[in-house]
Amino acid sequence: MAGSTEKARDGVGRERFLADAAARGLQVEVVERPAAKSLGEAAHILGISPADIVKSLVVKHKDGTFLFALIPGDRQISWPKLRQLVGVNKLSLPPADVALEATGYERGTITPLGSTHPWPVYADAAVTGRRISMGAGAHGFSAFVDADALTAALDAVVADISEPA
């Protein structure tokens, strides 16, 4: 039964993702793919470089609110840069169950598009100017989208917020 519950939740997540993209006038291409054990494996399956996969990370403020950080797959969050940009002295990655509660998406499927709450979006400057892949709200699916159109549609703050992994 757990498998059928997961499939139903994934279907709803993908529908939320697609509906939000459509409402924003954002063109996305969703592709089904086999499960991947790592970001590198997902990139290989999709025939792209790890840098072209953008991780949608849920970041928690000390006050209990959240933000999304969009980071290229070959990089990681620079906590000092992100804290300075946001103007706070403490940010953290929440546990998986907290991220699910904050967004309606499980880790590995998280995207700002269709999130159950419209948290602010901060995109690393390295994601711009190209076609990227990102979570599509469901396991076994990836979405391709123009990064510049995505950041504009999300009204994202674009800045240098990452460092090499």
- What local confidence, expressed as pLDDT, does residue 116 receive? 95
Over the chain (165 residues), the average pLDDT of each successive run of 10 is 53 93 97 91 95 97 96 98 97 97 94 96 97 94 97 98 96
- pTM, whole model, 2 decimals? 0.93
What CA–CA distance (Å, rounded) separates 54 from 158? 14
For the chain, counts of helices (H) and of strands (E) = 5, 10
- What local confidence, expressed as pLDDT, does residue 1 receive? 41
- What local confidence, expressed as pLDDT, does residue 2 receive? 45
- What local confidence, expressed as pLDDT, does residue 8 receive? 54
- What local confidence, expressed as pLDDT, does residue 36 receive? 87
Neighbours of 73 (CB within 10 A): 23
